[in-house]
Amino acid sequence: MSSMLQPQIILLKEGTDTSQGKPQLVSNINACTAVADVVRTTLGPRGMDKLIHDDKGSVTISNDGATIMKLLDIVHPAAKILVDIAKSQDSEVGDGTTTVVLLAAEFLREAKPFIEDGVHSQNLIRSYRTAGSLAIEKVKELAVSIEGKSLEEKKSLLGKCAATTLSSKLIGGEKEFFASMVVDAVIAIGTDDRLNMIGIKKVPGGNMRDSFLVNGVAFKKTFSYAGFEQQPKKFLDPKILLLNVELELKSEKENAEIRLSDPSQYQSIVDAEWNIIYDKLDKCVQSGAKVVLSRLAIGDLATQYFADRDIFCAGRVAEEDLKRVAAATGGTVQTSVNNIIDEVLGTCEIFEEKQVGNERFNIFNGCPSGQTATIVLRGGADQFIEEAERSLHDAIMIVRRAMKNSTVVAGGGAIDMEISRYLRQHARTIAGKSQLFINSYAKALEVIPRQLCDNAGFDATDVLNKLRQKHALPSGEGAPFGVDIATGGIADSFANFVWEPAVVKINAINAATEAACLVLSVDETVKNPKSESAQGEAAASAMGGRGRGGGFRGRGRGMRR
């Protein structure tokens, strides 16, 4: 009896989450499911959007899984894993972010009854890993290559991929219009890995259809001085001079203190400065350039000087834009106006200053090195354009991936159903508990077609039964069948060009399986209340003297003060 009253060793501080093992696992799974429930309804072409507003009052409307997950202020440590996989899916492949979260949560949900029944999570993890690699092999096997097609054919195929991505977005109504724009932009930049070579400029107002693609660079007209109006606004095949030089009269005579003995010397100082700037301007003109851009200011004197010589100029061009102009026109940015040789000048087919909505844009079209493209986006509200930009980003990423890897699989839940069938079939050949776990994994994959149906308002059970039956056909002809968003039945997704790049699916399955296994491998969360916040820090140090440092305490773990 007396031994029971012995003080126990306190390992963890007061306030540490002490649930361990099964309850901890179950609570982590519940948290992950709750997170997935937030993005669940955004999946697919009929998915809904989420409006998220924060304390600062900024409002975001989005359908993109990664964007929503990022904006949700998730504090649960296990649920945070889902945020991470959504982010990584976004940066690795750019699409499939909702899919990856849904899959991970569904794997966990399927695992929950087993955990509750006392199955050791390591057994589940092992089976899930096996199932994951089998699934990925199957995707690779089913993927169809679009390699070796002519450019025209490839373009239309890539367009289909982009359209599938866009169909679930706010701009889905104009998906063909934007898909071909995206494909043209991606083909324009070729193999260049720098994504920022595709610029997206947002101009509020107008109609979505007024958006257009510039085969080169476009940027908003910069601040301009008097004399600008007299400059010509359109050139064919102009030479373009890019500078990182200030072309402005600085009036140093007012800033500096100069001692003169003779008043006539004053004029020479004023003249000196004028001579310097005129010298610079002369050199610019002599270079033969018709368009002069500078990252730094181009003042009123220079503007007028150029206007008199039929030259267009723009100062304070954003660095990124100037870089893109340089890449597109083949010019090099100069830091001095001395020795401007022909090689450093860029050129393009048409330079033009054009009105777009309420803004004026400088547009460089038909650039020789063609490594850049700019999409000028139009549309009503700011939030709308923001979301349109994010959607285009998804589509651009997809087309780039498809160009690089050039294999696609049938979308609309077809590939998921097919893997599910394959895994179930495979499970039958396994003896032991593992069969059940792999079956659960297979069942979890059905969440994609089920959610697509739910979001579109179809009878998911009915559609899924039809799909299962179709995919079970021994001939294998049912493999490309997925949810038909138009009618609420099932249709050949492949024939209907509902395609997804294979990498998106492979990455999603991989990441979701890993995340599920990770959550399942955690049986205790150790939280250090001290490191939680600075506040906790202060509180802890205030209690400094009392009872700290002593390893023994007369109370058991978990007892409240």
Name the residues that contact ligand ADP, by CB under 6 A.
42-45, 47, 63, 65, 95-99, 164, 167-168, 411-412, 448, 452, 483, 485, 498, 500
Q: Report the distance separating Cα 369 and Cα 522, nearest Å.
A: 53
Q: Are 226 and 303 in contact (CB under 8 A)?
A: yes
Is residue 332 annotated as part of the catalytic site, yes or no?
Answer: no
- Give least dist CB 47 to Mg ion, A: 9
Return the number of the residue (323 or 393) whose C-beta is nearest ligand ADP: 393
394 carries an active-site annotation = yes
Angstrom distances, CA of residue 123 to CA of 115, 223, 428, 432, 465: 10, 66, 18, 11, 30
* Dist CA 514 CA 537 (whole Å): 35
What does 248 interact with, of Mg ion, ligand ADP, none (CB < 5 to 8 A by kind)? none
Question: Choosing among ligand ADP, Mg ion, none, which partner's interface includes residue 65 (Cβ < 5 to 8 Å by kind)?
Answer: ligand ADP
Element (H, E) at 221: none
Q: Whole-number minimum distance, CB 447 to ligand ADP, in Å?
A: 11
DSSP code per residue over 52-68: EE-TT--EEEE--HHHH
**Which of Mg ion, ligand ADP, none has residue 498 at its interface (CB below 5 to 8 Å by kind)?**
ligand ADP
d(CA 408, CA 418): 15
Q: How far apart are CA 202 and CA 452, in angstroms?
A: 31
Taking the least distance from each CB to ligand ADP, the nearer of 280 and 450 is 450
Q: State in angstroms the smallest separation of the CB of 453 from ligand ADP.
A: 10
Q: Which of 42, 67, 97, 222 is catalytic?
A: 97
Binding residues for Mg ion restricted to 145-184, rule: CB under 5 A: 165
Which helix (H) or strand (E) segment is 111 a member of?
Answer: helix 97-116
Spot the catalytic one: 321, 394, 454, 484: 394
Tokens at 277, concatenated? 């700037």
How far apart CA 85 and CA 91 sit, in angstroms, is 10
Phi, psi of 4 (to 5 degrees): -70, -20
- Which lies closer to Mg ion via its Cβ, residue 95 or residue 106? 95
CB 414 → Mg ion: shortest distance, Å?
A: 15
Specify the pairing of strand 198-204 against strand 481-483: unpaired
Q: How far is the CB of 430 from ligand ADP (least distance, A)?
A: 28
Q: Which of 243, 480, 451 is nearest to 340 (CA)?
A: 243
Half-sphere exposure of 2 (CA within 13 A, CB side): 0
Partner interacting with residue 217 (select from ligand ADP, Mg ion, none; CB below 5-8 Å by kind): none
In the complex, residue closest to Mg ion by CB: 95
Give the footprint of Mg ion on residues 83-102 (CB under 5 A).
95
Q: 51 or 260, CB closer to ligand ADP?
A: 51
Q: Which is nearer to ligand ADP, 378 or 390 (CB)?
A: 390
Which residue in the list 42, 49, 60, 64 is annotated as catalytic?
64
Query: Could you say which of Mg ion, ligand ADP, none residue 47 binds, taking C-beta under 5 to 8 angstroms by partner kind?
Result: ligand ADP
> Which residue is it, tokens 């893109």?
324
Tell me which of 98, 164, 165, 303 is the catalytic residue: 98
Total number of residues that touch Mg ion (CB under 5 A): 2
* Binding site partner of 174, from Mg ion, ligand ADP, none, Cβ cut-off 5-8 A by kind: none
In Å, what is the CA distance from 269 to each residue of 245, 259, 265, 299?
A: 22, 11, 7, 20
What is the nearest approach in angstroms of Mg ion to the Cβ of residue 500?
Answer: 8
**Shortest Å, Cβ 278 to ligand ADP:** 58
Rounded to an integer, what distance in angstroms lies between the CA atom of residue 114 and that of residue 134? Answer: 22
* Closest distance of CB 69 from ligand ADP, Å: 10
344 makes contact, choosing from ligand ADP, Mg ion, none, with CB < 5 to 8 Å by partner type, with: none
Which of Mg ion, ligand ADP, none sits in contact with 500, Cβ below 5 to 8 A by type?
Answer: ligand ADP
84 within 8 A of 70, measured Cβ to Cβ:
no
| Residue entry with tokens 């039958």 | 428
- Determine contact, residues 479/410, Cβ cutoff 8 Å: yes
* Helix-strand-coil split of the chain, %, nearest 5: 50, 15, 35
Least Cα distance to 33 among 110, 142, 85 occurs for 110
CB nearer ligand ADP, residue 44 or residue 227: 44
Nearer to ligand ADP by C-beta: 130 or 391? Answer: 391
- Based on CB atoms, which residue is closest to Mg ion, 46 or 324? 46
Residues in touch with Mg ion (CB under 5 A): 95, 165
User: Would you name the residues annotated as active-site residues?
Assistant: 64, 97-98, 394
